[in-house]
């Protein structure tokens, strides 16, 4: 949907995290890891059988002093050649897929991001950060480069962060964003509480025009897009060192959502009456999550019991009204949706050593649910909304899922580690409402990973996995998108996608020069989700039999100290993907719809020696494939190149103050689509639409401090 795509892009601009070069001090050299065998308190030596010689890159807390970090996130953002990967967990808790651990444990939450949790760990509690191949840790699912953050206890401490955003034109300023957190510990307890308020401010303004099938101009438009969002959250966590070696963790959060989006157009046809299209989309919601685990010795190993309960409610309303300058009666529609969704998970993990390796048996039960009610209205000549029949938009979807996987980890030779896991899942999908079905599935799951430290500073990893994806339950039900006159009919026959995933990763420690990481990957999908025909001239989200994707991703940090530019470094990352599927309408081969197939960023950071000042800048780029529906195709993207710059002082009354300006080179909001009078493979073109919108520079102030 074009409107939501633009909304997402605008939010991304206004909530973009400060680049990885946002904290430092002094004239110390950049972080350079040592390479040493893991110490006896390391997760590596605890998880990998004796005799393994896997080596980690070890960064001590003092290595980050020049960046004056305030949190573990600040420190991790400065690790050379490392990029945080936080994959959304859609299918239960499952095996670990994020590439960050804290004291050898995953940060398991489904309603808070990994970044949110890391920024609440005060920097003064971080002892060291180890970068190691995930397969050597003996934790099921981990592969490639993983950061393991080791922390220590301490007294009462707090941190705060204030964020403000502003633009010269169009968007409202945002002056009330930030977070305050407080943490403390005793001999047996560690705790953290945080109050967070995130906001989003976005806007884009500019010309649009409509052409006919022969590219003749038929209408000019003045387009104005605006977004305002508020996202308050309260969260807390507690860790208890219980009797013996038992450990318990508990976390909770409560959040609310308030968003308003408008996409208004002054329309000036070459023939006909001028009009004004007023489109408004509002969303109000709230949710909570409660989670915890208890880890204790049992028999020859240890058992961890994990539980999670999360719930959310949302109310959405869209109005699209067209008024005419000749005082003709307005025309319009309203779409409203109310949803309640929830998930309850119970998981058990038992791990032990046997036969020269480590073992883990996982069992998980997850119960997901969605209840949704939707209404569609038409505006009558009197100005009243009259409800229309819309039975396909209301109903419920549930999935009950049970999974078990056995994983084995062992050392095969010097610097060579194998991890292999196998199992499966049983699930039952049930839908109420029109076309409701009840179906059951039994699917294999598992992975095999080989990690090799080929030489000092050179690590290679190869992973093959069988993965079952998660469905968006809203795709089962009908949905209307009023801003572009599109609709999904709903599809009761959806099944979760499955894939074979192959990853090959090479990590090279460049010592004083920095670090580089390259990953080559392939994905072979079954039942991939795309827009498909569902009969009677309707379209909806549905399954594609087969599809494939290949990609290469590179991340690197190049320190410039060795060439005499003390305190300077270049960070670089880029990804390129090629995808292929058979179009469900034309049966021709094409890329994935809307795939962001080429993207990246390069930035320079300079910490002025013997001072508290730093500055830098860079640019990022993006390229997207067209989105494909049955009756239209188009591209909705931004930039395609954005530039940015910052200046920072790390000791303003004891605080770090960073000012960033984004979009120095007039990146744009761009949208093009072609609409057919029926299926695009056989009908004539109705019109094409083009937007070229000004985004304007975005100024961001960030203030961080500790207490």
DSSP secondary structure letters along 500-569: EEEEEEEEEE-GGGEEEEEEEEEEEEEEEEEEEE-STT-EEEEEEEEEEEEEEEEEEEEE-GGGT-TTEE
With 70 as the cut, is the pLDDT of residue 219 above it?
yes
pLDDT at 521 over 60: yes
Residue that wins the pLDDT comparison between 255 and 188: 255
Q: Which two tokens stand for residue 470?
A: 């998660």
Residues above pLDDT 90, as percent of the chain: 72
The stretch 378-391 carries a mean pLDDT of: 94
Does residue 229 or residue 10 have the better pLDDT?
Answer: 229
Q: Which pTM was predicted?
A: 0.85
Using 50, 70 and 90 to split pLDDT, how confident is the model at 117? confident
Report residue 432 as tokens: 């109420």
Pairing type for strands 100-102 and 145-151 reads: parallel
Distances (CA, A) of 37 to 49, 55, 91, 457: 13, 5, 36, 13
Element (H, E) at 379: strand 357-379
Residue 241 covered by a domain: no
76 φ, ψ to 5°?
-65, -35
Instruction: Determine the Cα–Cα distance for residues 690 and 697; give it in Å rounded to an integer.
Output: 22
Residue 239 belongs to some domain of the structure: no
According to DSSP, the residues that pair with 180 across neighbouring strands are 160, 195
Contact (CB, 8 A) for 434 and 392:
yes
Residue 661 token pair: 């300006």
| pLDDT for position 9 | 32
Choose between 36 and 208: higher pLDDT: 208
- For the chain, how many residues are written? 707
Cα dihedral 267/269/272/276 (nearest 10): 0
Residue 304 predicted with pLDDT over 60? yes
d(CA 552, CA 547): 18
Give a yes or no: residue 240 inside a domain: no
pLDDT of 36 > 50? The answer is: no
Is 250 in a helix, a strand, or coil?
strand
Using alpha carbons only, what angle is made at residue 284 by residues 279 and 289, rounded to the nearest 5 degrees?
Answer: 145
Cα separation, 544 vs 527, whole angstroms: 5
pLDDT over threshold 90, residue 526: yes
Distance between CA atoms of 564 and 561, rounded to whole angstroms? 5
For 59, the domain range is 2-234+247-706
pLDDT greater at residue 7 or residue 270? 270
Reference 451, options 411, 406, 408; nearest CA is 411
Residue 40 located in a structural domain: yes
Residues pairing with 261 in the sheet: 227, 281
Q: How far apart are CA 365 and CA 351, in angstroms?
A: 18
Could you tell me the two tokens for 465? 């996995």
R_g of the chain computed on alpha carbons: 27
Q: Say if 148 falls within a structural domain.
A: yes
CA 481 centroid distance within chain: 24
pLDDT at 144: 79
- DSSP at 421: E
The total of other beta-carbon atoms located within 10 Å of residue 448's CB is: 16
Tokens at 34, concatenated = 């040592």
pLDDT digits (tens, 9 = 90+) for 197-210: 999 999 999 999 99
More confident residue, 446 or 27: 446
Q: Which residues lie closer than 8 Å to 611 by C-beta, 6 or more apart?
A: none
Please state whether the peptide bond connecting residue 640 to the residue before it is cis, i.e. omega within 30 degrees of 0. yes
Q: What is the DSSP letter of 393?
A: G
Do 70 and 705 contact (CB within 8 A), yes or no? yes
What total number of domains does the chain contain?
1
35 forms beta bridges with 57
pLDDT of residue 138: 75
pLDDT digit string (tens) for 610-669? 999 999 999 999 999 999 999 999 999 999 999 999 999 999 999 999 999 999 999 999
Can you tell me the mean pLDDT for 241-267?
Answer: 95
Contact 421, 140 (CB under 8 A): yes
Please classify residue 80 by burial: count the beta carbons closer than 10 Å to its beta carbon, then call 0-12 exposed, 13-18 middle and 19+ buried.
Answer: buried
Read off the DSSP letter of residue 9.
Answer: H
Q: Is residue 684 in some structural domain?
A: yes
| 123 pLDDT higher than 60 | yes
Q: Is 90 exceeded by the pLDDT of residue 196?
A: yes
Q: Is residue 242 part of a domain?
A: no
Whether the predicted pLDDT of 540 surpasses 90: yes
* CA distances in angstroms from 140 to 57, 94, 95, 448, listed in the order given: 21, 9, 6, 10
Confirm whether 211 is domain-assigned: yes
User: DSSP secondary-structure letter at 392?
Assistant: G
Cα-Cα end-to-end distance for the chain = 45
| pLDDT at 20 > cutoff 60 | no
Cα 268 to chain centroid distance, Å, stands at: 39
The answer, yes or no, to whether residue 590 has pLDDT greater than 80, is yes
Given a cut of 70, whether residue 74 has pLDDT beyond it is yes
What's the mean pLDDT in 216-243? Answer: 95
pLDDT class of 55 with cuts at 50, 70, 90: low
Q: Which of 502, 490, 498 is nearest to 525 (CA)?
A: 498
Higher pLDDT, 695 or 132: 695
Tokens representing 262 are: 């408008």
Task: Record the tokens describing residue 696, joined without a space.
Answer: 């304007």
CATH, residue 578: 2.40.170.20
Lowest-pLDDT choice from 136-145, 316-325, 327-336, 343-352: 136-145
Distance CA 684, CA 677 (A): 6
């Amino acid at each position: 949907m074009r409107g939501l795509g633009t909304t997402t892009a605008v939010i991304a601009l206004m909530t973009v995290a400060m680049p990885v070069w946002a904290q430092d001090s002094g004239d110390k050299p950049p972080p350079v890891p040592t390479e040493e065998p893991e110490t006896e308190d390391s997760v590596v030596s605890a998880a990998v059988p004796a005799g393994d010689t896997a080596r980690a890159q070890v960064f001590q807390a003092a290595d980050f002093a020049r960046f004056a970090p305030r949190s573990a996130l600040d420190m991790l953002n400065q690790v050379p050649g490392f990029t945080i990967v936080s994959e959304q967990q859609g299918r239960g808790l499952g095996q670990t897929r994020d590439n960050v651990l804290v004291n050898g444990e995953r940060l398991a939450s489904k309603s808070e991001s990994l970044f949110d949790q890391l920024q609440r760990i005060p920097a003064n509690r971080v002892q060291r950060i180890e970068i190691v191949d995930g397969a050597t840790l003996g934790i099921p699912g981990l592969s490639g480069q993983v950061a393991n953050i080791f922390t220590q206890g301490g007294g009462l401490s707090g941190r705060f962060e204030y964020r403000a955003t502003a633009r010269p034109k169009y968007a409202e300023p945002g002056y009330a964003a930030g977070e305050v957190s407080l943490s403390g510990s005793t001999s047996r307890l560690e705790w953290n509480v945080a109050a967070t308020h995130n906001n989003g401010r976005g806007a884009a303004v500019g010309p649009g025009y409509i052409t006919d099938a022969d590219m003749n101009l038929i209408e000019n438009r003045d387009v104005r897009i605006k977004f305002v969002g508020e996202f308050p959250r309260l969260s807390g966590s507690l860790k208890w060192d219980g009797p013996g070696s038992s450990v318990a963790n508990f976390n909770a959060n409560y959040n609310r959502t308030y968003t308003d989006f408008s996409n208004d157009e002054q329309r000036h046809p070459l023939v006909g009456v001028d009009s004004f299209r007023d489109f408004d989309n509002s969303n109000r919601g709230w949710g909570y999550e409660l989670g915890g685990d208890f880890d204790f010795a049992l028999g020859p190993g240890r058992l961890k019991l994990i539980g999670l309960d999360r719930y959310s409610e949302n109310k959405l309303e869209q109005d699209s009204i067209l008024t005419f300058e000749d005082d003709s009666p307005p025309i319009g529609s309203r779409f409203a949706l109310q949803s309640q969704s929830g998930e309850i998970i119970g998981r058990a993990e038992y791990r032990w050593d046997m036969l020269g390796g480590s073992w883990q048996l996982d069992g998980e039960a997850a119960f997901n649910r969605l209840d949704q009610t939707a209404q569609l209205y038409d505006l009558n000549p009197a100005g009243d909304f009259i409800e229309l029949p819309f039975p396909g938009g209301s109903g419920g979807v549930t999935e009950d899922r049970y999974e078990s996987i056995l994983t084995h980890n062992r050392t095969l030779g010097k610097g060579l580690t194998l991890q292999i896991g196998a199992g499966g899942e049983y699930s039952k999908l049930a839908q109420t409402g029109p076309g409701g079905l009840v179906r059951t599935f039994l699917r294999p799951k598992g992975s095999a990973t080989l990690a090799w430290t080929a030489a000092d500073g050179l690590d290679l990893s190869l992973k093959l996995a069988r993965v079952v994806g998660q469905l968006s339950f809203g795709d089962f039900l009908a949905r209307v998108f009023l801003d572009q006159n599109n609709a999904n009919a709903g599809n009761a026959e959806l099944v979760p996608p499955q894939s074979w995933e192959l990853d090959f990763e090479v990590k090279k420690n460049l010592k004083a020069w920095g670090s580089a990481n390259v990953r080559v990957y392939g994905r072979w999908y079954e039942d991939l989700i795309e827009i498909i025909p569902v009969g009677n001239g309707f379209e909806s989200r549905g399954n594609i039999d087969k599809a494939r994707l290949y990609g290469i991703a590179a991340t690197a940090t190049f320190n410039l100290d060795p060439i005499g530019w003390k305190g300077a470094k270049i960070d670089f990352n880029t990804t390129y993907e090629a995808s292929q599927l058979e179009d469900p309408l034309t049966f021709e081969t094409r890329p994935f719809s809307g795939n962001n197939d080429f993207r990246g960023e390069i930035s320079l950071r300079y910490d002025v020696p013997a001072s508290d000042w730093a500055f830098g800048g860079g640019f990022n780029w993006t390229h997207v494939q067209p989105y494909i529906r049955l009756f239209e195709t188009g591209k909705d993207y931004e930039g395609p190149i954005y530039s940015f710059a910052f200046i920072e002082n790390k000791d303003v009354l004891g605080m770090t103050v960073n000012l960033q300006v984004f979009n120095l080179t007039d990146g744009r909001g761009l949208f093009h689509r072609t609409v057919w009078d029926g299926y695009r493979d056989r009908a004539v073109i109705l019109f094409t639409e083009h937007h070229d919108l000004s985004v304007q520079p975005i100024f961001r102030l960030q203030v961080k401090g500790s207490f």
